[in-house]
Amino acid sequence: MEHTKSKNYVVATDVGGTCTDAIVFAPGEPLYLGKALSTPPNFAEGVMNSIRSAADTMGLSFAELFARTSLFVHGSTVVDNTLLTRDGARTGLLTTEGFEDTLLITRGAYGRWGGLSEDGIKHPVATDRAAPLVPGDRIQGLPERVDYKGTVLRALDVEATEKAVRQLVEDKGVKALAVCFLWSFYNPSHEQAVRDVIERVAPGTYVSLSSDIAPVPGEYERTSTTVINAYAGNIAADYLNNLQELITAEGYSGPLLVMQGYGGLLPAKEAASRAVGLIECGPAAGVIGSRYLGQMMDDADVIAADMGGTTFKVGVIQGGEFDYAREPMVDRFHYVAPKIEVISIGSGGGSIVSLDPRTKVPSVGPRSAGARPGPICYGQGGEEPTLTDVMILVGYMNPENFLGGSITLDIERARSIFKEKIADPLGLGVEEAAIGIFRIAAAQITDLIHEITVERGLDPRDFVLHAFGGSCPLVCGIFGAELNVKRIVIPYTASVNCAFGLVSADIVHEYSVTKTLPVPSSAEEINAIYQPMLAAAKAQLADEGFNKSGTAFEWSIDLRYGRQVHEVTTPVRGETPVRDASLTALVDDFEALYERKFGKGSAYRAAGIEMTMFRLTARGLMKRPEIEKLALGGKDASAAKTGRRRIFVEAAGELVESDIYDFELLTPGNEIIGPAVIHTPITTIVLQDKQTGLLDEFRNMVIHFT
């Protein structure tokens, strides 16, 4: 393959829990994909391995690749991982005197039941709060007080601050300090003064101020967020600096952009100071990738579903927009940072199938066999039946040709253990039981998607379903049909979806001001709030090398009804700065959004409406990858047919002999009529009855309902 010698490659790498993915793209060339195992805690090694794997498919050396790379984009679970393994810095907390326990008492039981399933919640005696990231003896209260208007009631005692800082850093060995005072988001001056003291008295200590990291109301969540940021701060910074050095050493001289949980990129320098922004950036990238693919295919409404080994995750894009998570948590900690809403259940390929010992009622997950020992059929010592074992028993997988033939699956062992543990106790034949379990898994997934669509006022029938991850394409034919989606797309980039999202993201800076204004307020007042945010945003983007035409600014405002609790973030349509007339449209949009989300008749207008937060999303527009369009050929797919096999067909309720295809032998334009199975190097696509699969010009498999 002739590679152009000019610098125009974009390299994207995404570090996940198990695998690190890489994508290299250049205009006019096909997408190059690479994969390697993740290498915690020194993730950078896995990153380089995944790039090497992509470079190999291109026939290029590292040096050659990097010499021609103009942009390096990255996402990583490094912060999630730090929290999970409790491997962060020795952190201290400075807060308002009298409120030292805020972080520890977590608004009562909230920290105890937060993140638990219904089973956990029904069993309180067996539950506990997670150990806090900062124990009580590293928390110091300082004399200061600000009120609900931002008025200083009691000036900060600087001397007491110095004493507290010394005590924490010198006596307790603290390396990172979080600072969170009551109402600081209205008046950050005290927190800023504390930072000055720390820089003077204990320079080199990592500092996080709540007024920088999360300037929003609610002191518990704000404190928790600031603590998380301080705890993981140096690790995130060291990681990104190290990565920067590695790629520079290989000959790369361009920028390093890092994905955030809200679906935008930040330059590494800034990302390094906002560890909290890295949380859940992988799933966010997945949703962004899905949005871009949808745009390419003219679909603005997409359900993005990702089913891997342990979990099934889903996010929704509506009109090109997505929702932010309410009350997000990472591990067992609450935090407030804008984060794309992705919900999940423990239903993945490795999810363990079990029967309730008393009632024999079956369930799938949430326990998982993981990668080791993994499913029984992997032959690595797995003794418990998993969903993957079920899928092989219903005929969806080819025992001889899994992962391109690199592993032979032990179907007999899976069958015999499944018979003993599941089928016989249920009094069913092996096939019948496997079909039943498969249906339960599909139903659980349907219910999950229902939660993020129908329960939010969205109708799945208006949406296209994107299926990602190793296991999703096997099941999507069933739950996609039950939800009655418009059609299903299994993207060519399904196995590296998050990396694909990285290359389709923009640089995004999020700004916000917390302030309560009644409706109506004058446009002048609102514009005055946005002025300083716009100025800061423009300066920031200019600094990052964007000229005016390469930037875009989106305003959105949180509104709520005067006597109700819930706010809805409402995008401001039309021109900005706003005019008085455009505010009517804002209120109409808010009311429509509110009713859509919370139900007809849920709005209570009589007490009036107020605006509570003003948000600015500032974009530095990035060039979108142009995916190579191949020529569309004929429909005849027979050249790709490799045989026939009995597979589970939902409409028939049993296994029916059907055609098996090899994806690599298909050409764009080929049509396959279901029921059928298509084996790809990294996954398997199952077409159900009344479903036709069409390989499009991007090599996506598009499933239509007939």
Residues 424-453 that bind other proteins (CB under 8 A): 426, 436-437, 439-440, 443-444, 447, 450-451
Helices 158-166 and 189-201, packing angle to 10 deg: 50
| Nearest C-alpha neighbor of 406 from the set 398, 396, 417 | 398
Is residue 641 at the binding interface for other proteins, with CB under 8 A as the rule? Answer: no
Contacting residue, 362, 366, 370, 681, with other proteins by CB under 8 A: 362
Does 598 help bind other proteins (rule: CB under 8 A)?
yes
Taking the mean position of all CA atoms in its chain, how far away is CA 605?
A: 35
Q: Which of 137, 159, 400, 525 binds other proteins (CB under 8 A)?
A: 137
Q: By rule CB under 8 A, what count of residues binds other proteins?
A: 73
Contact between 182 and other proteins by CB under 8 A: the answer reads yes
Helix (H, G, I), strand (E, B) or coil at 138: helix
* Residues in region 75-114 near other proteins by CB under 8 A: 97-102, 104-110, 112-113
333-334 and 609-620 strand pairing: unpaired
Nearer to other proteins among residue 441 and residue 464 (C-beta)? 441
* Shortest Cβ 411–other proteins spacing (Å): 22
Contact 311, 347 (CB under 8 A): yes
- Cα torsion 391, 397, 403, 409: sign: positive
> Would you say 605 or 644 has its CB closer to other proteins?
605
Task: Give start and end residues of each alpha helix (H) in 108-157.
Answer: 110-113, 118-121
In this structure, what token pair is assigned to residue 672?
A: 């396959």
Binding status of residue 5 toward other proteins by CB under 8 A: no
274 vs 334 by CB, closer to other proteins: 334
What are the structure tokens assigned to 611, written together?
A: 């605006």
Q: How far is Cα 205 from Cα 226, in angstroms, rounded to an integer?
A: 15
**Of the listed pieces 118-126, 533-541, 655-663, 678-686, which binds other proteins according to CB under 8 A?**
118-126
Question: Around Cβ 528, how many Cβ atoms within 10 Å?
Answer: 11
Q: Which of 84, 87, 122, 543 binds other proteins (CB under 8 A)?
A: 122
Amino acid type, 97:
E
Residue from 225, 150, 223 nearest 185 by CA: 150
* Listed ranges 165-173, 265-273, 304-312, 356-364: which one lies at the site for other proteins (CB under 8 A): 356-364
161 sits in the region (left: phi over 0; alpha: psi -120 to 50; else beta) called: alpha
Give residues 194-253 in contact with other proteins (rule: CB under 8 A).
Answer: 217-221
Strand boundaries in 79-223, DSSP class E: 91-96, 139-142, 145-146, 152-154, 176-180, 206-209
Name the one range near other proteins by CB under 8 A: 4-12, 116-124, 258-266, 570-578: 116-124
Least distance from C-beta 106 to other proteins, angstroms?
Answer: 8
Cα pseudo-dihedral 540, 541, 544, 548, rounded to 10: -140
CB of 361 to other proteins, least distance (A): 5
CB nearer to other proteins: give 347 or 684. Answer: 347
Window 599-618: residues binding other proteins (CB under 8 A): 599, 601-602, 604, 606-607
- Closer to other proteins by CB, 203 or 427: give it: 427
Please report the DSSP string for 423-449 in residue order.
IHHHT--HHHHHHHHHHHHHHHHHHHH
Q: Is 515 in the site for other proteins (CB under 8 A)?
A: no
Residue 460, preceding peptide bond in cis (omega within 30° of 0): no
Identity of the residue, 62 or 99, whose beta carbon is nearer to other proteins in the bound complex: 99
Nearest to 691, CA basis, from 480, 450, 395: 480
Q: Would you give the binding string for other proteins spanning residues 534-573, x where CB under 8 A is met?
A: ---------------------------x-xxxx-------
**CB of residue 290 to other proteins, shortest distance in Å:** 24
Site for other proteins in 141-170 (CB under 8 A): 141, 143, 145, 147-148, 153-154
Q: Which residue's CB is nearer to other proteins, number 607 or number 639?
A: 607
Segment 665 to 694, residues that bind other proteins, using CB under 8 A: none
Please report whether residue 417 would count as binding other proteins according to CB under 8 A: no
Q: How far is the CB of 481 from other proteins (least distance, A)?
A: 13
Q: Spell out where 542-623 has E strands.
A: 551-561, 568-571, 609-620
Q: How far is the CB of 484 from other proteins (least distance, A)?
A: 12
Per CB under 8 A, 320 contacts other proteins: no
Whole-number minimum distance, CB 359 to other proteins, in Å?
A: 5
Min CB(595)–other proteins separation in Å: 11
Alpha carbons 42 and 603: distance in angstroms, whole number: 51
Answer yes or no: are the C-beta atoms of 686 and 473 closer than 8 Å.
Answer: yes
Stretch in the footprint of other proteins (CB under 8 A) among 132-140, 240-248, 382-390, 536-544: 132-140
Closer residue to other proteins, CB minimum distance, 62 or 324: 324
Residue length of the chain: 706
Q: Strands of 88-172 (E only): list them.
A: 91-96, 139-142, 145-146, 152-154
524 near other proteins, rule: CB under 8 A: no
Whether residue 552 contacts residue 534, with contact meaning beta carbons closer than 8 Å, is answered with no
- Residue closer to other proteins by CB (options 255, 362) is 362
Closest residue by Cα to residue 341 from 258, 273, 283, 384: 283
Residue type for position 534: L
